[in-house]
Amino acid sequence: MALGVKFIRKSGILVSKFISALLVLLYIGQFALIIYLVQDRFELQGILREQQLKINELEEKLKILDIIEEFQVGFKDQEVAQLTQVVYDESKKYGYDPLLILALILTESSFRKGQISEMGALGLMQVKPSVGHALSQRRGLHWKGELSLFEPAFNIQLGTLYLFELILKFKDVKKAIIAYNLGENALKLHLKEGQNPPTYFLRRVLKKYKELEEKYDRSKG
């Protein structure tokens, strides 16, 4: 009888150990599954965020493309695609709203290819050769003389860079836009003498910006 009891106890211990081990394995398995599900969820969220960013990028480029196609004069389809990309890239680089850059281009050159102003400013963003050369020297850009300013992508790169430098100098976007047209030194002189600088160019840019925003900004539609 004592032997039977001893055998039962040993059997019970073995069964108990087996059950305990099984429970531990189940616990480990459940824990591993939870970790996998959590990681999978984070990976899925990351994929969804990445896809949403791509969608946002495509929508932004489509908006830029629509505007350029409507207003451009003299550009081929391949050039329009290139302009779309450079406006998008430069806007991201400096934190611009692309509509502001497009409004500035429309105000300066009406998006006409090969524009030359009475003051000698060239290209889409009406950059003066002296300004373009100085910017190229400071930023290590490849300058090939005045003809460089008739290259649309290069012209936009210089124009957006110039506006960015003016924003840093004057600490104000509106003043920077005025200086872009009036000239940096001329604006400084107005401010030094306590005079209000002319704002006709700024008003034209802002008016064009508002028109583009109302017509093309789908996020606010």
Tell me the CATH number at 188.
1.10.530.10
**pLDDT at residue 12, as a whole number:** 52
- Output the pTM of the full model: 0.79
* Candidate from 39-43, 89-93, 140-144 with smallest mean pLDDT: 39-43
Half-sphere exposure of 197 (CA within 13 A, CB side): 23
Q: Are 189 and 206 in contact (CB under 8 A)?
A: no
d(CA 98, CA 117): 24
**pLDDT at residue 7, as a whole number:** 46
pLDDT digits (tens, 9 = 90+) for 93-124: 999 999 999 999 999 999 999 999 999 999 99
Q: What is the residue range of 215's domain?
A: 2-220
HEC letters along 35-86? HHHHHHHHHHHHHHHHHHHHHHHHHHHHHHHHHHHHHCECCCHHHHHHHHHH
Here the tokens at position 73 are: 């004069």
- Taking CA atoms, 202 is separated from 31, 77, 100, 177, in Å, by 63, 31, 11, 6
Instruction: Say whether pLDDT at 160 is over 50.
Output: yes
Q: Are 67 and 216 in contact (CB under 8 A)?
A: yes
> Read out DSSP for the chain?
-HHHHHHHHHHHHHHHHHHHHHHHHHHHHHHHHHHHHHHHHHHHHHHHHHHHHHHHHHHHHHHHHHHHHHH-BS--HHHHHHHHHHHHHHHHHHT--HHHHHHHHHHHHTTBTT-B-TT--BTTTTB-HHHHHHHHHHHT----SGGGGGSHHHHHHHHHHHHHHHHHHHS-HHHHHHHHHH-HHHHHHHHHTTPPPP-HHHHHHHHHHHHHHHHH-GGG-
**pLDDT at residue 55, as a whole number:** 83
What is the domain count for the chain? Answer: 1
Instruction: Say whether pLDDT at 130 is over 70.
Output: yes
The contacts of residue 74 (CB under 8 Å, 6+ apart) are: 112, 113, 114
pLDDT digits (tens, 9 = 90+) for 13-39: 555 666 666 666 777 777 777 777 777
Q: What is the mean pLDDT of residues 200-218?
A: 94
Instruction: Say whether pLDDT at 6 is over 90.
Output: no
Q: What is the mean pLDDT of residues 70-91?
A: 96
Torsion of CA 10, 15, 18, 20, to 10 degrees: -100
Instruction: Say whether pLDDT at 172 is over 50.
Output: yes
pLDDT digits (tens, 9 = 90+) for 141-155: 989 999 999 999 999
**pLDDT at residue 21, as a whole number:** 66
